[in-house]
Amino acid sequence: MAQKERSEIAEQYKWNVYDIYPTDEAWAKALAGMNGKIEKLKQWQGKLGSSAATLADFFEYTDELDKELTRLSVFASLKSDEDLGNQDNMAHTKEVEQIYVDYSQISAFAEPEITSIPDETIRKFQAQEPRLNNFRMELDRIQRAKQHILSEKEELLLAKTAILGDTPSDAYSIFSDAEMPWPTITLENGESVELNQSEFSLVRASAVRADREKAFFAFWNNYKRFEGTFGELMNGNIRQGVFSAKARNYNSVLEMRLQHNNIPTSVYMSLIENVNKNLPTFHRYLKLKQRLMGIDTLRYYDLYAPAVQNVELKYDYNQAKELVREAIKPLGDDYAKVAERALSERWIDVYPNKGKASGAYSQGSVYDVHPYILLNYNGRYDDVSTLIHELGHTMHSYYSVHNQPHALCHYSIFVAEVASTFNEALLDDLMLTKLTDRDTKISLLMNMLDGFKGTLFRQTQFAEFELEMHKIVEAGQPLTGKILSEIYGNILRKYYGHDKGVCLIDDCVDIEWAFVPHFYMTYYVYQYSTSYVASQALENIVINGTAADRDRYLRFLSAGDSKYPIDILKDAGIDMTTSEPFDNAIKRMNKIMDEIEALL
């Protein structure tokens, strides 16, 4: 089925970007005024250590600049994602990127200057000037990163090269979402389908195995045609990160990426180690899926299909909203009121349209405007789950913005997926109380296990792949599309027990890494896994606890960047430096499988 043009979709199902700026002209006017505002930064050069008041004035001015730049950027980005084929909208995003580069260049003096201020003087400034409290995290990060902050000239040079860093990601997005040719297949019912990303996600979940197989080979072999192109784009992306890490004297890109939020690299390594240690639990899930599907051999193209035949949970968008409203009741009236605004006041772009960005996300960076949600809703239970997932992000952003100053409102990526996967667990718990039919209940329990598969195991598999490809470049070795496919294929076969006959992996799926845009967000994906582990524990505490436990969770949502993420989670009752949260998640996964086997 061909996708609709955006003009064919009713306004109520499209987000309203004009809540950010009333008109395109207002956005353009605000953009035009930024250069003059950025130029004013020069008045602080050479003076930041002169007094507490001067340092506070500088921070407050840059904070306002950051706020307005974010507003400009998000407006342009949302409009671009409505139709990635619209070159005018894409050009606007480039204009904002250039402003950011100019900003980085002019403000390059700041970190070296602040670094040169003695720690004792910084502490004295903070005691003298209450306004600096809003910037305590930024000051602490600068002080901790002293050895990685370069001279003013070197920082200026790196700032001038920053605009080059987004090129691989931008080229990937344009090609994979808008310009890449898609294969067409004919389904068993005679319907002809163009296998773009959205349609592939539907067909791979089909109950008709022949359709899944046909779509699987057509889709991945089409990606395989461009293996060299995707390889060069990823190579450029990785090398840009390695260059930055070496220039700043980090031992690795991983160390550089985790340093900002004070996360030990051991947390990353322990995640991979713990998941590999528990692959037998994952294989148990895969064998259970094979048993339920009644097939002799489980293959990779079977994984998204319904485990229980003739049971398909489908919900139109209005039904989905009702389920969401009911699922979030344990979080209280205030949470529900804000969520209702998101569902009814055009915060959400609901349906796929031609050229629209694939996937789903929540964008909550604009401080004095509500968050936005992008969906590509297709009516499956997975889509309902995606809605409540992204609403979790939106509520996290809303609570942080309304409880923290702008400088402390942007929570770290490390905790970003906690609120979203927490909400998914709420939905699953609700559905288990609603369903009485045995097969339907088994189907939902398998859907819950799919969450463990897709978030804990799959994202850790991605994290391991990301670590390996960085190691190659950091060792000075070549990285090509073919090499990336070999690395990815080997890790994939290990996770899915290919050599043990658990789930067979066909050669063409080795290119799947090229399908994952998150690899361009360096060392991002592992946080899906750590957040998922944390959210499973938190949801259990809230559901089985008291109003005080709920309020403590809401304080977690409100914390923003007021502390480092490990400490924010500790305040919520979860210690991610230990294996306990991970062990509890595996126990819950096994308990769900026990329940399914009992029903069988």
Kindly list the domain boundaries of the chain, sorted by start residue.
6-165, 171-311+442-520
> What is the pLDDT at residue 148?
80
Tell me how far apart the terminal alpha carbons of the chain are, to the nearest angstrom.
37
CB distance 146 to 207 below 8 Å: no
Q: Are the folds of 6-165 and 171-311+442-520 the same?
A: no
| Alpha-carbon span 504 to 224, nearest angstrom | 19
> What is the pLDDT at residue 2?
67
> What is the pLDDT at residue 41?
95
β-bridge mates for residue 453, sequence order: none
Ramachandran class of 501: left when φ > 0, alpha when ψ lies in -120 to 50, beta otherwise: left
Domain with residues 6-165, CATH architecture: Up-down Bundle (1.20)
Per-residue tokens: 205: 């979940």
| Alpha-carbon span 346 to 233, nearest angstrom | 35
DSSP 8-class letter at 246:
H
Ramachandran class of 359: left when φ > 0, alpha when ψ lies in -120 to 50, beta otherwise: left
The answer to whether domain 171-311+442-520 has CATH 1.10.1370.20 is yes
User: Which among 526, 373, 517 is positioned nearest to 457, based on CA atoms?
Assistant: 526
β-bridge mates for residue 361, sequence order: 374
Neighbours of 402 (CB within 10 A): 12
CB distance 152 to 145 below 8 Å: no
Three-class secondary structure of residue 492 per DSSP: helix
> What is the pLDDT at residue 597?
95
What's the distance, CA 327 to chain centroid?
23
> What is the pLDDT at residue 169?
87
| Alpha-carbon span 67 to 232, nearest angstrom | 35
| Alpha-carbon span 480 to 505, nearest angstrom | 21
Q: Which residues are catalytic?
A: 390
Ramachandran class of 504: left when φ > 0, alpha when ψ lies in -120 to 50, beta otherwise: beta
Three-class secondary structure of residue 192 per DSSP: strand
> What is the pLDDT at residue 300?
97
CB distance 20 to 68 below 8 Å: no
pLDDT tens for the chain, 600 residues: list them. Answer: 568 899 999 999 999 999 999 999 999 999 999 999 999 999 999 999 999 999 999 999 999 999 999 999 999 999 999 998 888 888 999 999 999 989 999 999 998 899 999 999 999 999 999 999 999 999 999 888 888 877 878 877 887 777 677 888 889 888 888 889 999 999 999 999 999 988 998 899 898 999 999 999 999 999 999 999 999 999 999 999 999 999 888 999 999 999 888 999 999 999 999 999 999 999 999 999 999 999 999 999 999 998 888 777 789 999 999 999 999 999 999 999 999 999 999 999 999 999 999 889 999 999 999 999 999 999 988 899 999 999 999 999 999 999 999 999 999 888 988 999 999 999 999 999 988 889 889 988 998 999 899 999 999 999 999 999 999 999 999 999 999 999 999 999 999 999 999 999 999 999 999 999 999 999 999 998 998 999 999 998 999 899 999 999 999 999 999 999 999 999 999 999 888 999 989 999 999 999 999 998
Opening angle at CA 188, ends 184 and 189, nearest 5: 100
What's the distance, CA 219 to chain centroid?
24
Asked whether the whole model's pTM tops 0.85, one would answer no
